[in-house]
């Protein structure tokens, strides 16, 4: 680590604090090189920025530096986790990459990959590669930063400080959408004709039809599977980001299926236009966006409360010693 890097890191800090930071990242660098990743320079720069931002709110003492660095964990463990993350992102050869500029990812899906694509405030790109399939999806975390609803570094770990009961409660929202779909489908089943609209043109007129049974069966699977998978992720006690992210994704898909059913009934009732479908698309994305933003703010508030409690406890301890 060069002298320039040291001074950049230690600007405004006590010499002991700057030395502790330099020592921490020197150990991280050695362990990262030993673990094999060749992109550790970016990781060091990002982590330094994070530490510097956290210490900007403190007096910059050695105790403050040690406290912030302890949140990152031992440099050896951090380097190992970073190397493992790079290897998991690479995936098996030939199943992820780009073709004619279009991204594709055919790796075995994981809740972590889905969640990180849906919510990553540190990534400024609004459109990011899909976690599974061809093309792009919306990074709602970047959208939240763009609309100034959250800051990129609001949370040390996304949703990491959110109370477990709040994380578990996120599964309630897709369940409510699933119940609404089931109730509407059951109530309208006996009134549906043998053939129902399945596709609409730009003008809003139905230009494709299918059987009542196959259409409702498809829509039922479209709601049941997205609810069952997040339930499995929650039961396995995956990290908070994974559970919250898949809950938001499930809410989006179940809301979209409900919108398709409403559009079908609207057309059968003599309605013209696609406004129920477009409204459903807006609600599909908007409901997930609001859910993730609210949970992120809860996590930020929990982190602030934890930091303030820790500072208060430390201050009381000093008073007792004096």
Tokens 């609207």 belong to 266
* Structural domain count of the chain: 3
The verdict on 210 and 99 lying in the same domain is: no
Q: State which of 19-28, 157-166, 176-185, 205-214 shows the largest mean pLDDT.
A: 176-185
pLDDT digits over 8-30, tens only?
A: 344 467 888 888 888 887 777 66
Q: Is residue 279 in a domain?
A: yes
Integer CA distances (angstroms), 241 to 58, 149, 203, 312, in order = 28, 18, 40, 29
| pLDDT at residue 9 in the model | 41
The verdict on 59 and 133 lying in the same domain is: no
| pLDDT at residue 241 in the model | 87
Q: Is residue 26 in a domain?
A: yes
The verdict on 105 and 238 lying in the same domain is: no
Domain that holds residue 117: 91-146
> Above 70 in pLDDT, residue 90?
no
pLDDT digits over 98-142, tens only?
A: 788 888 888 777 787 888 888 888 777 888 888 888 988 889 988
pTM above 0.75, yes or no: no
| pLDDT at residue 72 in the model | 78
> Which is more confident, 280 or 199?
280
> Above 80 in pLDDT, residue 240?
yes
The verdict on 78 and 99 lying in the same domain is: no
The verdict on 168 and 235 lying in the same domain is: yes
Report d(CA 79, CA 40) in Å as an integer.
Answer: 9
Q: Is residue 155 in a domain?
A: no
SS (H, E, C) 231-286: HHHHHCCCCHHHHHHHHHHHHHHHHHHHHHHHHHHHHHCCCCCCHHHHHHHHHHHH
> Above 70 in pLDDT, residue 64?
yes
The verdict on 227 and 109 lying in the same domain is: no
Report d(CA 18, CA 23) in Å as an integer.
Answer: 9
Q: Is residue 236 in a domain?
A: yes
Per-chain mean pLDDT for the chain = 80
Q: Is residue 316 in a domain?
A: no
> Above 50 in pLDDT, residue 2?
no
Report d(CA 307, CA 291) in Å as an integer.
Answer: 24
| pLDDT at residue 39 in the model | 53
Q: Is residue 227 in a domain?
A: yes
> Which is more confident, 185 or 307?
185
The verdict on 304 and 168 lying in the same domain is: yes
């Amino acid at each position: 680590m060069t002298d320039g890097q040291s001074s950049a890191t230690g600007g405004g800090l006590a010499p002991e604090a700057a030395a502790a930071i330099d020592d921490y990242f020197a150990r991280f660098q050695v362990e990262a090189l030993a673990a094999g990743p060749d992109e550790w320079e970016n990781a060091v720069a990002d982590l330094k920025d994070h530490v510097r931002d956290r210490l900007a709110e403190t007096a910059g003492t050695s105790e403050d530096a040690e406290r912030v660095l302890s949140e990152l964990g031992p440099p050896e463990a951090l380097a190992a986790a970073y190397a493992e993350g790079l290897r998991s992102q690479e995936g098996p050869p030939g199943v992820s990459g780009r073709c004619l500029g279009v991204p594709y990812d055919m790796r075995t899906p994981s809740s972590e990959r889905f969640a990180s694509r849906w919510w990553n405030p540190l990534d400024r790109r609004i459109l990011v590669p899909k976690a599974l399939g061809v093309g792009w999806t919306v990074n709602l975390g970047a959208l939240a930063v763009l609309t100034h609803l959250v800051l990129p570094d609001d949370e040390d770990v996304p949703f990491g400080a959110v109370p477990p009961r709040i994380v578990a409660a996120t599964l309630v929202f897709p369940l409510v959408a699933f119940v609404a779909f089931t109730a509407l489908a059951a109530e309208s089943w006996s009134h549906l004709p043998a053939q129902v609209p399945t596709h609409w043109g730009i003008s809003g007129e139905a230009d494709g039809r299918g059987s009542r049974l196959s259409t409702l069966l498809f829509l039922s699977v479209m709601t049941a599977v997205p609810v069952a998978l997040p339930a499995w992720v929650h039961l396995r006690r995956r990290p908070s980001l994974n559970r919250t992210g898949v809950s938001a994704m499930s809410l989006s898909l179940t809301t979209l299926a409900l919108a398709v059913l409403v559009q079908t009934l609207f057309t059968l009732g003599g309605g013209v236009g696609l406004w129920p479908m477009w409204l459903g698309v807006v609600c599909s994305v908007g409901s997930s966006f609001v859910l993730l933003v609210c949970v992120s703010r809860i996590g930020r508030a929990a982190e602030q409360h934890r930091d303030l409690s820790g500072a208060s406890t430390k201050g009381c301890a000093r008073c007792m010693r004096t």
